[in-house]
């Protein structure tokens, strides 16, 4: 499975605890949210981007 390079485009590494699987999520067009979907059960999640930013690049969701 080849993946195009997204260097420069911000993303977060999300652990979907529902299925114990990691997935990258990218910012939506507005740049205010990260949108992600569990690749296994297709549950959608949305992260609000903190105004001051966050050093953390990894999150887990339930
Ligand atoms: Zn899931």
Mean pLDDT by 10-residue block, N- to C-terminus, for the chain (62 residues)?
60 91 88 89 85 70 81
Q: In what order do the strands lie in the sheet with 11-16?
A: 44-48, 33-37, 21-27, 11-16, 58-61
Question: 3-state class of 37 per DSSP?
Answer: strand
In the reported structure, the alpha carbon of residue 37 is separated from the centroid of ligand 1 by a whole-number distance in angstroms of 8
Domain boundaries defined on the chain: 11-61
> What's the CA gap between 32 and 22, in Å, rounded?
22
Stated pTM of the model: 0.66
- For the record, the structure tokens of 47 come out as 């992260």
In the reported structure, the alpha carbon of residue 2 is separated from the centroid of ligand 1 by a whole-number distance in angstroms of 23
pLDDT for 42:
95
> What's the CA gap between 12 and 44, in Å, rounded?
15
In the reported structure, the alpha carbon of residue 1 is separated from the centroid of ligand 1 by a whole-number distance in angstroms of 21
pLDDT for 26:
86
In the reported structure, the alpha carbon of residue 19 is separated from the centroid of ligand 1 by a whole-number distance in angstroms of 4
């Amino acid at each position: 499975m080849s993946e195009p390079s997204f260097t420069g485009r911000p993303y977060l590494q999300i652990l979907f605890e529902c299925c114990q699987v990691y997935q990258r999520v990218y910012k939506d067009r507005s740049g205010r949210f990260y949108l992600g979907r569990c690749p296994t059960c297709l549950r959608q999640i949305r992260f609000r981007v903190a105004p001051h930013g966050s050093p953390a690049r990894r999150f887990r969701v339930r």
